[in-house]
Chain A
Amino acid sequence: MTVAGVMRQYQVVGRKAATDDHPNPEAYRMIIFAPNAVIAKSKFWYYLHQFRKMKKTTGEILDCVELTEKNSRTVKNYGIWLRYSSRSGTHNMYREFRDVKLTGAVSQLYDEMAGRHRCRPRSIQIIRTATVGAKDLKRNNGMQFAKAGVKFPLPHRVSSAKRGQRALSDSTYSTVRPTTFFG
């Protein structure tokens, strides 16, 4: 699947189609991360037919609902367990991300896997996600920002022409060298 932009979280519920012998088959619920509902339903069948004997043609989706973050006003630490296939095999992995929403952390995950491991979204399966307390973090990167009293300066601030800032965009010539030290 192509993942452009932010991922969304869906709860998809489906079951095998009802027949005369089994009028009420068991329903299965999955949490799927996908950019839209169409891909979410497709991924639901992708996983379901690996776990149970059912597929899109023999089953029906009962419900597909987008789940929204309960509290997007605090930064949380998310631990994500995933399984991905690389060029030489498939591996399990555990990564941590700090973000305001779970879907934000998952989007970060896909971007980071692509950057660090050249891993395409189609090769990633998210096994489990969880909010992790600051003292249970295992990776250094998140730990240093989750610590109490974290502070750091912003050294070597470069003005970017993208933001219409003076340093690069104002005039072709200048008598003043740009400054990167702002305290």
Chain B
Amino acid sequence: MPFTRYAEVGRIVLVNYGPESGKIATIVDIVDQNKCLIDGPESGVARQVIPFSRIALTDLTVKIQRNARAKTLKAAWAEAETTTKWEATSWAKKLSMKKKRATLTDFDRFKVMVAKKQKSAIIAKKMEELSA
């Protein structure tokens, strides 16, 4: 399996660790083997040097020049519809689902239990019909 996700100028990354964790940003320049300069004006990530161990590469890229200014970055993001594309990926959906689950109240968890029971009842009935 060859590599498809490269650390390069314009690659969208997800920050994994630190105060900005959970947000996406773009690689604006590469410092060296271990560090890169990221910026995410649209997602609220300040322009900073971050080590690769704190980020995860995604499949998305934007077309920018090295060291693009925040304004050009924002325009490139809007043109590529990055935020909508990211939110449509199953990765982003799983992350938001986890977040939501962490904030459920007891009543919400009760509602989830009831919904699960209803769902499995429908499935069981259908299975009975099919096997009969």
Q: Which residues on B sit within 8 Å (CB–CB) of A153? A: 3, 5-7
With contacts A75-B37, A100-B49, A163-B17 taken as known, whether A181 is within 8 angstroms of B1 at the C-beta atoms is yes
Q: For chain A residues 141-162, which have a beta carbon within 8 Å of chain B?
A: 141-142, 145, 148-155, 160
Which residue of chain A has its CB nearest to the CB of B58? Answer: A183
A73 at the interface (CB under 8 A from B): yes
Q: Is there a chain A Cβ closer than 8 Å to B56's Cβ?
A: yes
Q: A2 interface residue, CB < 8 Å from B?
A: no
Looking at chain A's contact residues, the main secondary structure is: loop
Chain B interface size, under 10 / 10 to 19 / 20 to 34 / 35 or more: 20 to 34
Across the interface, do B52 and A154 meet the contact criterion of CB distance under 8 Å?
yes
A98: interface (CB < 8 Å):
yes
Contact A145 B31 (CB under 8 A): yes
- Cα distance, A152 to B4, chains bound together (Å): 10
Q: CA–CA, A145 to B32, complex, Å?
A: 6
Residues of B in contact with A (beta carbons under 8 Å apart): 1, 3-9, 16-17, 29-33, 37, 47, 49, 52-54, 56-57, 59, 66-67
- The 8 Å CB contact of A183, one of B4, B33, B37, is B4
The 4 closest A-B pairs by CB, nearest first: A151-B8, A153-B3, A183-B5, A151-B6
- Chain A residues within an 8 Å CB radius of B56: 182
Cβ of A111 < 8 Å from any Cβ of B? no
25 intermolecular pairs with C-beta atoms under 8 Å apart: A73-B37, A73-B67, A75-B29, A99-B31, A100-B31, A100-B37, A100-B49, A141-B32, A145-B30, A145-B31, A145-B32, A148-B66, A150-B8, A150-B9, A151-B6, A151-B8, A152-B6, A153-B5, A153-B6, A154-B52, A154-B57, A160-B53, A163-B16, A182-B57, A183-B5
